[in-house]
Structure 1
Amino acid sequence: MERNRKDREGGVLTTVAELFDLPADVVAGLPRLEMVGSRQLYLEHHTGILAYTDQQIDANTAGGVLRVKGERLTLLAMTAGELRIGGHIQSVEWVR
C-alpha cells in the first residue's frame, strides 16, 4: 500500500533514488549547475550547445535551454555530458 502511494506521488525515479540512496536529480538526468563566483559555470547533463558567442551561450538540457549571458564568455571544457563556461557571467536563466 505504501509503495503504491510513493509511485503515484513521486514516480518510479524517486522510488529508485530512495532505494539506492541516490540524489533524485542524478537518477532523472536533470541538469546540475555549479557556479564559482561570477567567473565560471559548471553544467552537468547538457545535451548540446545551441548558440555560442562571447556574450551568450545557450545549452540544451532535459529541463530546457540554459542561457548564460556575460562578457568574454568561452567554453573552457566540454564533454558529452559536462560543460564548463568561463568569463564574466552576468546572468543565468532558463528559457522554455
Structure 2
Amino acid sequence: MKNHKKINPENLIETLELPKDLILGMPVISLTGNCEILIENHRGITDYSEHQMIVLSKEFRIQIDGECLNVEYYTGESMKIRGQIHQITFLP
C-alpha cells in the first residue's frame, strides 16, 4: 500500500514561485505614506465612516482607522482610500 502525502497548496505555490494574490485571492495592499491606501483583490466594504472603514478580503477583514477617510475610487478589483490613516488592523 502506498503512502500518499497531502500537498499543502501554499507550500506548492511557494515552491513554484506563483503569485499568491492571483492563486489564493490574497489582497494586495499598497500604502503611500499615511494618506493613501490601495487595496486590490477585495470583496467589498462592510463599514464606512470618516473615522473607520472595514474592507473584506477572502481570508480576513482589513480595518482602517483614521481621520477624513473617503473612498477615492472603487471597482470590483481595487479601491483607493484617502485621508489621515492612523492604523491598519487585520481581523479574523
* Equivalent in 64, 79, 83 of residue 87 of structure 1: 83
1:34 to 26, 30, 41: 30
For 1:13 and 1:79, the matched residues in 2 are separated by: 31
- Structure-2-length-normalised TM-score: 0.84
**Paired residues of 1:46 and 1:60 also in contact (CA < 8 A):** yes
Identity over the aligned pairs, expressed in percent? 22
In 2, Cα distance between equivalents of 1:59 and 1:95: 10
- Runs of at least 5 residues in structure 2 that lack an aligned partner in the other structure: none
Where in structure 1 are there 5+ consecutive unaligned residues? none
Which residue of 8, 11, 14 corresponds with 2:9? 11
Tell me the amino acid that sits aligned with residue 84 of structure 1: K
Report the RMSD for the aligned CA atoms in angstroms: 2.3
| Distance across 2 between alignment mates of 1:71 and 1:28 | 32
Moved beyond 2 Å, runs of 4+: 12-15
Cα distance in 1 for partners of 2:63, 2:38 equals 13
Q: Which residue of 1 aligns with 2:70?
A: 74
Paired amino acid for 2:53: I
The superposition leaves residues 51-81 of structure 1 with CA deviations (integer Å, 9 ceiling, x where unpaired) of 0000001001112110000000000110012
Q: How many residues align?
A: 89
Q: Report the 3-state secondary structure (helix = DSSP H, G, I; strand = E; otherwise coil) of the residue aligned with 2:23.
A: helix
